[in-house]
Amino acid sequence: MDYREVGKNVLQHVGGKENVVSLTHCATRLRFELKDKKKADTKALEKTSGVISVVDSGGQYQVVIGNEVQTAFKEIQKAVGNSIKQKKPSDSQESIISRLISVISTTFTPMIPAITGAGMVKAILAVLTLTGVLSDSSQTYIILNTIADAAFYFMPVLLAYGAAIKFDVSPILAITVAGILLHPNISQLFSTGDAVSFLGIPVLAADYAGSVLPIIFTVWIMSYVEPFADRISPSFIKFFTKPMLVFLIMGPLALVVIGPFGTLLNDLVAVGAEWINGKAAWLIPFLMGGLQPFLVVTGTAWAMTPIATMQLSSNGSEMINGPGMLASNIAQSGATFAVAAKTKNKELKQLAVSTGITALMGITEPSLYGVTLKLKKPLVASMIGGAIAGLYAGLSGLVRYAFVSPGLAALPAFIGENPMNIVHAIITCVIAFVATFIIAYLIGFDDTSDELEQASAESSIIIESPVKGSIYPISEVNDAVFSKGLLGKGVAIHPEENSIYSPVDGEVITILESKHAIGLRSKDGIELLIHVGIDTVNLKGKPFEVFVKAGDQVSAGQLLIDTDFDSIRNAGYDDTVIVVVTNSENYEVISETTGNLKEHEPLMQIS
């Protein structure tokens, strides 16, 4: 599947680039903030080839793509540009929780690749030291550990970028303000033990390395300061006065007021998490293990991310997200494999196996939206199995030492100071998979449910007949290139009328100079060749009148070519019209109609 084409189709259905306020992506989904959500065609998006599901939650319009999300993202980004400065209408009607989740998700999403990569380096280091390959006192270890720690030490810088996108300020200025908080000169002032002040105002000692809340609050305040600096700066010197004013105002504010306040909140959150962990260590992993699918669907899974990252930065491990997510992700895989084992539907079985493997590695959206959510009962089973495994994870004191999406591929992230931690992680995985598989298999699901039939129908694409006539198998065409399927699967038509119409909505890719063949690409990415007659290239275009040109957008039923079939037959040539799907390898099922058809009636169904 061409995910660049998927990106183009998604952009069209969300209302075009004019409707996009901001765009980010995570491991599997595109995350839009739209100017007007009413302009987004959700039904069309859900039917778009390559789109798994659509979720409108947490202040974001989310389009679930799967593992190829980056390809679609880059294509959309090319169209909308790197910096989008449209203003979104007032979101005062959204709940405070929705607005908070929107801030967290938009701020944290851009930095996920950095801290995930750093987390995997940490995991590799843990394996190397555990097996004795590398000493934790060696210079090689110190350098690699520095590489792994950099993303966490400079977390305020990473968060400044995401917050700048959310609050619509200059990312470069926001990142520079984060650099002020981390500058070694500030640390040296505090290290003397003497009181520090700015213009006589006390500056409280704080370590901002790895902090989360101070920079988010700082960039939020900056979203009011930057427009003010822009407004009062004369246009002819604005280039340097605007950033100067931002730094002179935000630097002292961040160090004297906002930073200490954010640090206090950081500490209160950390104390709260530790208190819960001390009183009921099993509670959070138990709840996360059971409710994670619900949190993902509603877009509230991000709510716990700041607490988890703060724990990782300050303690080197966390129990807020990782243990419960590990239980939930593996449980999701167990439920999906139970569907694969029980279903008699070949397409569902193939989908369940592929998405089940992905979930086993820690990415659950394809499994969740593609299988368990649609069938319902397997989703319930995954939540029960995830809660059971999460309870064990909590009671055993399981923690995660690195920020990665929990799954089998990320198990090294559970290797740390406690040698039994990885053992408990493996046991958690076994409990989650086995318990969920058994529960899902026993409670079953409706293998011929309306949801499944609807999903199958929505994944099918109809190709209309381009001409009135009688249909026969392409294998009987008197041309080996077509009859042997060398160009792809297709259909042959004995034409009864002279007009050739477009069988799809899409784009004209090519028209041969001899006018006897035209290439189209549908909006769903299907590439078609309409070939009029056999060896009619020799007629050098005489019997054909073409009404479109390469690059034109066409609609299904639009006239493409008028053909004088009598002239073709009188010249001794076969008049067969052949329709071929030239990228047939991208599709599992291509079924053809038989008998007599009028133009615009269904000719092929593609899944």
Task: Return the active site residues.
Answer: 26, 531
SS3 at position 186: helix
Q: What angle, rounded to 10 degrees, do the helices at 155-167 and 96-108 form?
A: 130
Residue 434 in contact with residue 334, Cβ under 8 Å? yes
* CA–CA separation, 156 and 174 (whole Å): 10
Structure tokens at 55: 């979720």
- What is the residue-wise DSSP string for 497-515? SSEEE-SSSEEEEEE-TTS
Structure tokens at 452: 């499944």
Residue 516 in contact with residue 571, Cβ under 8 Å? no
Backbone angles phi, psi at 356, to 5 degrees: -65, -40
Residue 352 in contact with residue 247, Cβ under 8 Å? no
Residue with tokens 């000719």: 603
Helix H or strand E segment including 313: helix 305-315
Residue 362 in contact with residue 411, Cβ under 8 Å? no
> Closest Cα to residue 100, out of 129, 68, 57?
57
> Closest Cα to residue 214, out of 247, 255, 259?
259
> Closest Cα to residue 348, out of 266, 246, 451?
451
